[in-house]
Amino acid sequence: MIYSLLVILLVIAVIKIIILKKTARDIADKFADKLSTDTNTLIGIASRDKDMMHLADSINKQLVILRKEHLQYHQGNTELKNAVINISHDLRTPLTAIAGNLYMIQKTEELSEIREYLEAIRERTETMEQLTEELFRYSVIVSDERKTVTEEIFVNQVLAESISSFYSVLTQKCITPQIHITDTRIVRNLSRSDLTRVFSNLLNNAVKYSDGDLKITLSDTGEITFTNTAKGLSFVQVEQLFDRFYTVEAARNSTGLGLSIARTLVERMGGTITADYEKNRLSITIRL
């Protein structure tokens, strides 16, 4: 009786081992197939063995992570190619103009004409300086892995100071900002320098793209909104505003990094930044 029972248990154990080995081979084959094909499907097994199910589940979780990183790599690669094209265009345009003006200087002895050519060269040089400085600032920000130093910040004051520093630039562009800053004291634990840079980038964006107006609001809840008229934008363009190197074609003296830098800094401080577009008015909202 005992002998028969042992035989039965042995047969059951052998069958289970065979099933487990088949399941393991099945998982291995399916894993190899998932790696070699572009599919979002996961590994499924017929076995109800808890260990085999746990193994398949663990592999599936790693597949999801791997596919996400793979997608990010391809998106980044495409983005980099587009960035090289855009930056090459943005830098080549002023370089071509500088070379042309230098050639014209060599061909003339008229002092008045030489001054005009030199002024054009100066303007183009400033454009190149702005582009390279923007690229440098972005590279410094994204490569800085140090922990952000924060302190209690009076947001009302920092916003008011940022607007004040840009006021002359705004008025030169015939933009008289409507400013509504709450009397409620808005205090957050943030990086003062990062917050100042975010406001600066948003104000600079308004200078470049606004159709002549700008409304800045700081609500009682601490929500900060920059709104301006921007006719002709599509919803696709609005969704891409925070993408690296994306720039609206109306302004070619920008790498399109200003809003991307703002998003990086806001998220680093634990906040969010979003864009909405309705009735030709673009609103960028920060929640800290």
Evaluate if residue 251 carries a pLDDT over 60. no
Regarding whether 169 and 139 lie in a shared domain, the answer is no
Pairwise pLDDT comparison (115 vs 134), residue with the higher score: 115
- Is residue 217 very low, low, confident or very high in pLDDT (cuts 50, 70, 90)? very high
Of 70, 97, 127, the residue that ends a domain is: 70
Over the stretch 104-117, which tens digit does the pLDDT of each residue have?
Answer: 999 888 888 899 98
pLDDT attached to residue 255: 53
Regarding whether 91 and 51 lie in a shared domain, the answer is no
Of 70, 95, 113, the residue that ends a domain is: 70
Say how far residue 193 (Cα) sits from the centre of its chain. 19
pLDDT attached to residue 178: 93
Residue 236, in any domain of the structure? yes
pLDDT attached to residue 226: 95
Evaluate if residue 75 carries a pLDDT over 80. no
Residue 274, in any domain of the structure? yes
Q: Which domain holds residue 102?
A: 86-143
Regarding whether 47 and 104 lie in a shared domain, the answer is no
Evaluate if residue 247 carries a pLDDT over 50. yes
Regarding whether 189 and 97 lie in a shared domain, the answer is no
Is residue 127 within 8 Å of 246, Cβ to Cβ? no
Regarding whether 157 and 215 lie in a shared domain, the answer is yes
Q: From start to end of the chain, where are the E strands?
A: 151-154, 178-181, 187-190, 215-218, 224-229, 272-278, 281-287
Over the stretch 198-211, which tens digit does the pLDDT of each residue have?
Answer: 999 899 888 887 88
Residue 79, in any domain of the structure? no
Mean pLDDT of the chain: 81
Regarding whether 132 and 155 lie in a shared domain, the answer is no
CATH assignment at residue 115? 1.10.287.130
Most confident stretch, 87-101, 127-141, 212-226: 212-226
CATH assignment at residue 270? 3.30.565.10
Give me the percent of the chain exceeding a pLDDT of 90.
24
- Is residue 272 very low, low, confident or very high in pLDDT (cuts 50, 70, 90)? very high
Q: Span 265-282, mean pLDDT?
A: 89
User: Structurally, how many domains does the chain consist of?
Assistant: 3
Regarding whether 200 and 126 lie in a shared domain, the answer is no
Residue 7, in any domain of the structure? yes
Q: Span 221-246, mean pLDDT?
A: 79
Residue 75, in any domain of the structure? no
Regarding whether 130 and 43 lie in a shared domain, the answer is no
Evaluate if residue 32 carries a pLDDT over 90. no
pLDDT attached to residue 256: 59
Regarding whether 165 and 121 lie in a shared domain, the answer is no
pLDDT attached to residue 266: 92
Evaluate if residue 4 carries a pLDDT over 90. no
Regarding whether 155 and 64 lie in a shared domain, the answer is no
Residue 176, in any domain of the structure? yes
Q: CA angle, 117 as apex, 116 and 118 as ends, to 5°?
A: 90
- Is residue 250 very low, low, confident or very high in pLDDT (cuts 50, 70, 90)? very low
Regarding whether 185 and 105 lie in a shared domain, the answer is no
Give me the percent of the chain exceeding a pLDDT of 70.
85
Neighbours of 42 (CB within 10 A): 15
pLDDT attached to residue 77: 67
Is residue 228 within 8 Å of 282, Cβ to Cβ? yes
Over the stretch 177-196, which tens digit does the pLDDT of each residue have?
Answer: 999 999 999 999 999 989 99
Q: Which residues contact 22 (CB under 8 A, 6 or more apart)?
A: none
Residue 77, in any domain of the structure? no
Residue 48, in any domain of the structure? yes
Regarding whether 163 and 98 lie in a shared domain, the answer is no
Of 110, 143, 176, the residue that ends a domain is: 143
What token pair was written down for 100? 């042309």
